[in-house]
Structure 1
Amino acid sequence: MLDQLTQLVQQFGEEAVVKNNAVPNKHNEEVIKETGNSIFSGLQKIASEGGVEQLAGLFQEKTIDSSNPVVQQLTQQLSGNLGEKFGLNTDTSSNVAGTLIPQVLNSLVNKAKDPKDGSFQISDIVNAISGNSGQASNIMDTISKYGVQFGLDQNADGKLDVGDVMVIAKSGGLSGFFGRLFKK
């Protein structure tokens, strides 16, 4: 997943890093790589510290912006890393982090929500950031809980599972199911 995340950072890094005169060209590649690493390790840290609701909440957002607590935490971490590792001043590192983090997370979450895009799966993301630990099931349980709250529990068993997906698939397709789950 880290490679895929780095590809997203490269995609959005053109303006924030490469065309940014405040970032020395000799550091462009390293800044992009550090951004991907910081996002990944930051998400892992949030998961390990019990931020299950915050992470699950990312998948409920229509647009992830700088007001999101996960974005704020990741931006602060990346900004510090860029200043420390590459000598970027506070304004430059804050601008790079504040631009890239929301863009990358929006793209990541939207790709995971899109049933036609197989590049990211919610379960794969959750497993990667939780290290395939018990936290993965906690995060998936929280996502499932939100799905039940949104009326997606089709068989009234109190959980969101494959049985619910099958009922919805027969009556309107998976795109409707994921659309309702993620408010699309």
Structure 2
Amino acid sequence: MFEQLTQLAQQFGVDSVVNNAAVPNEKNEAVIGEASNSVISGLQKIVADGGIDQLAGLFQGNNAKDASNPVVQQLTQQLSGNLGSKLGLDSGAASGVAASLIPQILGSLVGKAKDPNDSSFQISDIIGAISGGGDNSGIMDTISKYGGQFGLDQNGDGKVDVSDAMDLASKNGLGGVLGGLFGK
């Protein structure tokens, strides 16, 4: 999943990093890499700190691109700080890059995970990456494999995926669904 995140960061980094005079060209690759790292580590920290409801909120509607979303704010602040401390960017440039990149990356990530016609990001990959590949990584595989037998295939398409989770969440609340997956 890290490679796919890096590709998103590269895609959205053209304007906010590469074509940004405040970011020295020799730091472009490092800035894009730090953006990818910040998304994964930031989401892991949110889960570790018990922010399952915040994470669940990211997948509702189209608010993953919304700068006022608490997850977007937290990841933007984290990336901004990292760009300043690790790469020496001044605070204005670091804030500008982070404010541009994070909403675009998260919006695309969530959009792709929710799109049944786009297999580049699977919710199971996201959960695996966020959980650090630990005990939670096999949960989605098991749910996908046996979920239809337990009535989890909400839309009757023969597979259990994020669209089924969203349908189920509309009935039971997404926080409860993800909370159950993460054991919270």
Q: Is the 8 A contact 1:113 1:182 kept in 2?
A: no
Q: CA RMSD in A?
A: 2.7
Match of 1:168 in 2: 155
Q: State how 1:39-118 maps to structure 2 within 5 Å.
A: 39-64=39-64, 65-118=66-119
Could you tell me the TM-score, scaled by structure 2's length?
A: 0.76
Query: Which amino acid is the alignment partner of residue 24 of structure 2?
Result: P
Rounded to whole Å, the distance in 2 between the matches of 1:167 and 1:57 is: 20
SS of the aligned residue for 2:155 comes to helix
Name stretches of at least 5 consecutive residues in structure 1 with no aligned partner: 141-160
Q: Is the 8 A contact 1:82 1:88 kept in 2?
A: yes
How far is 1:98 from its partner? 0.5
Distance 2:22 2:44 in 1: 29
Any idea what the Cα deviations from partners look like across 1:89-137, whole Å, max 9, x if unmatched?
Answer: 1111001000100000000000000111111111220121112345669
User: Number of aligned pairs?
Assistant: 160
Match of 1:147 in 2: none
Structure 1 position 36 matched with structure 2 position 36 = yes
Q: Distance in 1 between matches of 2:109 and 2:6?
A: 11
Instruction: Name the CA distance, whole Å, in 1 between partners of 2:168 and 2:103.
Output: 21
User: What's the TM-score, normalizing by structure 1?
Assistant: 0.76
Which deviates more, 104-113 or 117-126?
A: 117-126
Tell me, which stretches of 5 or more residues in structure 2 are unaligned?
A: 141-146, 171-184
- The CA deviation at 1:35 is 0.7
Distance 1:77 1:105 in 2: 14
Q: What is the alpha-carbon distance in structure 2 between the residues aligned to residue 92 and residue 45 of structure 1? A: 25
Aligned partners of 1:79 and 1:181: how far apart in 2? 36
Q: Residues 136 and 120 from structure 1, CA distance in 2 versus in 1: closer, same or farther, beyond 3 angstroms?
A: same
Alignment partners' CA distance in 1, 2:38 and 2:165: 29
Q: Which residue identity lines up with residue 128 of structure 1 in the other structure?
A: A
Residue 36 of structure 1 aligns to a residue whose secondary structure is helix
Identity %: 57
Closer, same or farther: CA 91–182 of 1 in aligned 2, 3 Å? farther
Give, in whole Å, the separation in 1 of the partners of 2:162 and 2:136.
Answer: 27
What SS does structure 1 have at the residue aligned with 2:61?
coil
Measure the CA separation in 2 of the matches of 1:164 and 1:130.
25
Structure 2 SS opposite 1:168: coil
Q: In structure 1, give the amino acid aligned to 2:125.
A: D
Aligned to 1:5: 5
Counterpart-to-counterpart distance in 1, 2:163 and 2:81: 41
- Could you tell me which residue of structure 1 aligns to residue 125 of structure 2? 124
